[in-house]
Amino acid sequence: MEAVLYTKDGETKQAKLKKTVFGLVPRAELINEAVTAYLANQRRGTASTKQRSEVRGGGRKPWRQKGTGRARAGSIRSPLWRGGGIVFGPHPKNWHYTIPNKKRRLAIRHALSDLAQNKKLIIIEELNLSSPKTKEASAFLKKMEINPGTAKILIADQPMKQENRRAFRNIEKLEIVPVENMNIYLVLWADVLLLTKKALAEIEELWG
């Protein structure tokens, strides 16, 4: 497997990729399971509603049973009333569940392989901007024929430099993360994955 490598001078070469990380045949069901687990584990599960017995008030019968011409009512906190209890509403719940580490690691390799095989992976020698300005960051992306603000871009740098983060943070649809913070959801979200050579080496060591 190979990907486009941009040198410091702006020239393009071919960078070799580790087959065990970028050369797999993507399995949709495995990736789906990993993404579902990731999203489930982001849920706080704090949504809560009160049932009829938990709503304050309503202890007195609002009017007599017969003779008023109105429907029978036993409490103003009935689910039929505004401000009453909620029927079958959400309650605090723990949505967390895990999948085996081998599956999780394999799934992210499959997602990376999908990006590499669809020519959505770009390697750069290093990410070193002269100043932390968004204008310079946009120009840097355009040199690699990436449309900032239109394409969803994921940049992985190692080590993470705060100057680079400040330069890229105002560009829409762009995430810049250290390698250890990459996850299956971010990899699938990206239209383009931009890696420095150090980040590529770290990824191949971490997941290879």
pLDDT in tens, 49-107: 999 999 999 899 999 999 999 999 999 999 999 999 999 999 999 999 999 999 999 99
pLDDT in tens, 21-49: 999 999 999 999 999 999 999 999 999 99
Q: What per-residue confidence (pLDDT) applies to 55? A: 94
Model confidence at 208, in pLDDT bands (50, 70, 90)?
Answer: confident
129 pLDDT above the threshold of 90? no
pLDDT value, residue 30: 95
158: its two tokens: 């190692």
The answer to whether residues 104 and 34 touch, using CB atoms and an 8 Å cutoff, is yes
Instruction: Please calculate the CA angle 169-200-204 and round it to the nearest 5 degrees.
Output: 135
Long-range contacts of 40-47 (CB under 8 A, 24+ apart): 40/95, 40/96, 40/97, 41/95, 41/96, 41/97, 41/98, 43/95, 45/92, 45/93, 45/94, 45/95, 46/92, 47/90, 47/91, 47/92
At how many degrees (to 10) do helices 101-117 and 197-207 cross? 140
**Structure-model confidence comparison of residues 130 and 86, the more confident one:** 86
Instruction: Name the residue among 170, 180, 173 with its Cα closest to residue 202.
Output: 180
Question: What's the full length of the chain, in residues?
Answer: 208
Distance CA 91, CA 137 (A): 45
Residue for token pair 């995430």? 175
pLDDT of residue 105: 93
pLDDT of residue 27: 94
- Domains annotated for the chain, with CATH where assigned, are 2-43+99-207 (3.40.1370.10), 49-89 (no CATH)
Q: Given a cut of 90, is residue 150 above it in pLDDT?
A: no
- Reduced to 3 states (helix: H, G, I; strand: E, B; else coil), residue 155 is strand
pLDDT (tens digit per residue) in 177-203: 989 889 999 999 999 999 999 999 999
- Is the pTM here over 0.85, yes or no? no
Of 161 and 138, more confident: 138
CA angle 3, 204, 138 (to 5 degrees): 50
Token pair recorded at residue 169: 């943070």
